Amino acid sequence: MHDLTLYGYWRSSATWRVRIGLHLLGVGYEYAPVHLVRDGGEQYMDDHIRRNPLGQVPVLTWNVDGQEHRLAQSLAILEYLDETTPGQILPTEPFARARARQLAEMVNAGIQPMQNLWMTRAITAGGADGRGIAREAIRRGLAAMQAECDLAAMLPTSAQPRTWLVGDSPTIADICLIPQLYNARRFDIDLSPFPALTRVDALADKHPAFRVARPEAQPDALHPTD
């Protein structure tokens, strides 16, 4: 891989996913913080809007022979890294790959957008309870992921949870799950009904690539609160 720069924010769950992927794949990168809260949000400033017109992190950039490459959307970035590096963050067997992608999208499209900064602010500004709706979205999304794990015994063996959500190595499904569980705790969600998910969380807690990717370990982490 060429010299990669990851524009992100310590607590952005989408940035966190990419950090996990980079560390799992053993790919080095430079980390360039974009502060999502300070001064109304650096993600909305011209420099960043040129990197990602949606005003979001993460963005991964690199140059090849002076030619700019930039990529946004965490799952697009993770798929690219999987395809262009020797390591793997997707299973090999096609249905197991699909299953990992399904679980990843349950977080990426089914939960996270309902609790992100823009959405909760817009709902709250409109006079409803943005945090409450986010909590409900997180709770029902995680319940569906737990139910998927409970139903998985009926699926082909390659697509079943084993050590991780799909099989015996971490995949994009686990990469998406871990930051979402952290957010669930921030939103005071009781995780005890989701043992198939907290089991993976405990595993990630001991895994070097997951540990080094944690928000608290990033240079832009704020302490003790944001």
As measured in angstroms, the least distance from the Cβ of 145 to a second copy is 8
Tell how strand 30-33 and strand 5-8 pair up: parallel
| Given 37, 147, 212, 217, the residue binding a second copy (CB under 8 A) | 147
Residues contacting residue 23 through CB under 8 Å, at least 6 positions apart: 208, 209, 210, 212, 213
| Contact (CB, 8 A) for 32 and 202 | no
Rule CB under 8 A: say whether 50 interacts with a second copy: yes
The continuous run of DSSP H or E covering 69 comes out as strand 67-72
Rule CB under 8 A: say whether 151 interacts with a second copy: yes
Among candidate residues 105, 206, 99, the one with its CA nearest the CA of residue 160: 99
Cα–Cα distance measured from residue 34 to residue 99, given in angstroms and rounded to the nearest whole number:
32
Cα–Cα distance measured from residue 14 to residue 7, given in angstroms and rounded to the nearest whole number:
11
Burial of 202 (0-12, 13-18, 19+ CB in 10 A): exposed
Rule CB under 8 A: say whether 56 interacts with a second copy: yes
Q: Prior bond to 215 cis, omega within 30?
A: no
53 beta partners: none
| Contact (CB, 8 A) for 75 and 103 | no
Q: Which is nearer to a second copy, 66 or 219 (CB)?
A: 66
Lay out the site mask for a second copy across 73-112 (x = CB under 8 A, - = otherwise): x-xxx-xx--xx---------xx-xxx-xx-xxx-xxx-x
Rule CB under 8 A: say whether 156 interacts with a second copy: yes
Mark the segment that binds a second copy (CB under 8 A) among 18-26, 32-40, 134-142, 213-221.
134-142
Q: Which is nearer to a second copy, 136 or 220 (CB)?
A: 136
| Given 144, 191, 196, 221, the residue binding a second copy (CB under 8 A) | 144
> Hey, which residues between 160 and 179 contact a second copy (CB under 8 A)?
none
Rule CB under 8 A: say whether 17 interacts with a second copy: no
Rule CB under 8 A: say whether 1 interacts with a second copy: no
| Contact (CB, 8 A) for 13 and 19 | no
Q: Which is nearer to a second copy, 21 or 141 (CB)?
A: 141
As measured in angstroms, the least distance from the Cβ of 72 to a second copy is 6
Cα–Cα distance measured from residue 125 to residue 91, given in angstroms and rounded to the nearest whole number:
42
Interface residue list for a second copy (CB under 8 A): 49-50, 52-56, 64, 67-73, 75-77, 79-80, 83-84, 94-95, 97-99, 101-102, 104-106, 108-110, 112-114, 119, 122-123, 126-129, 132-133, 136-137, 140-141, 143-145, 147-148, 151, 154-156
